[in-house]
């Protein structure tokens, strides 16, 4: 009752703004112009890593990269492409205390990952090292994961920890450097909590996949039966060529 009364008052004092361009909107989200510019990844793609394909193909097909080097995770899906149009909203959540974006993003994650979520036992966020968490004050992946788990009535379990501090992945010059940077950087604090379980690994952005790959390896070493990755956005380059 109180919430129903308070919301119109709060909307009057603090009108909802577009999470992309900050224009006034009716409710939290993207305005029509920003929405039309977002590249949503809801078309055909690799059955494993989710990289988009230029055309629809029959059956489940893998991209060249997954065929050559199968990832440790069983699947990966993203809501949208990480580019100039989506970057502002995601960086707002990550660095500018825009925790008001969490409920909306969690609903989008639920829609994108609905097939996988029904198979999962628990939601595990990609962790920050304790010093970075202290500087940032919150882990955006954990905030998203907590909201998503609540909505889907799953167990939220931050059982994955970053065992050593690493430089930011954004500072790495290549995919190879990113892989080296996070190699053996994660561990499971209590393997019994993931043993035999199907885990949803949650993060905000997937660039080369090095971080989620390292996390998936740690979860599999601890006994997880399956690891499915779900992120807000991923970097999309030229489409892979099927072989």
Query: Does residue 178 contact residue 45 with C-beta atoms inside 8 Å?
Result: no
> Using CA atoms, how far apart are residues 71 and 190, in angstroms rounded to an integer?
23
Q: Around 102, how many Cα atoms within 13 Å sit in the side-chain half-sphere?
A: 21
> Using CA atoms, how far apart are residues 34 and 27, in angstroms rounded to an integer?
14
Residue 4 has pLDDT above 80, yes or no: no
pTM of the complete model beyond 0.85 = no
pLDDT band, very low/low/confident/very high, at 131 (cuts 50, 70, 90): confident
- Quote the tokens at residue 193: 């909590």
Which of 147, 155, 153, 157 shows the shortest CA–CA distance to 104?
147
Is the dihedral angle over the CA atoms 201, 202, 208, 210 positive or is it negative? negative
pLDDT of 152-190, one tens digit each?
999 999 999 987 666 566 555 566 666 666 667 799 999
pLDDT of 69-106, one tens digit each?
999 999 999 999 999 888 888 888 887 778 888 898 99
Adjacent-strand bridge partners of 125: 202
| Domains of the chain and CATH, by start | 38-234 (3.40.50)
């Amino acid at each position: 009752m109180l919430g129903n009364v308070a919301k119109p008052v709060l909307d009057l004092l603090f009108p909802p703004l577009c999470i992309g361009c900050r224009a006034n909107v009716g409710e939290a989200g993207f305005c029509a112009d920003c929405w039309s510019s977002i590249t949503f990844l809801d078309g055909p793609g690799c059955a494993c890593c989710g990289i988009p394909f230029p055309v629809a193909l029959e059956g489940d097909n893998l991209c060249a990269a997954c065929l050559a080097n199968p990832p440790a995770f069983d699947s990966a899906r993203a809501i949208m492409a990480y580019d100039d149009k989506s970057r502002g909203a995601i960086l707002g959540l990550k660095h500018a205390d825009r925790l008001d974006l969490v409920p909306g993003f969690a609903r989008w994650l639920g829609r994108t990952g609905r097939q996988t979520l029904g198979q999962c036992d628990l939601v595990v966020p990609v962790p920050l090292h304790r010093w970075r968490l202290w500087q940032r004050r919150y882990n955006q992946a954990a905030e998203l994961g907590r909201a998503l788990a609540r909505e889907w009535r799953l167990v939220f379990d931050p059982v994955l920890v970053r065992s050593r501090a690493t430089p930011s992945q954004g500072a790495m010059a290549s995919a190879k450097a990113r892989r080296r940077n996070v190699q053996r950087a994660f561990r499971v604090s209590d393997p019994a909590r993931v043993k035999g379980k199907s885990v949803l690994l949650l993060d905000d952005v997937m660039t080369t996949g090095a971080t989620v790959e390292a996390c998936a390896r740690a979860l599999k070493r601890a006994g997880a039966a399956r690891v499915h990755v779900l992120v807000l956005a991923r970097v999309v380059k030229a489409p892979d060529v099927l072989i």
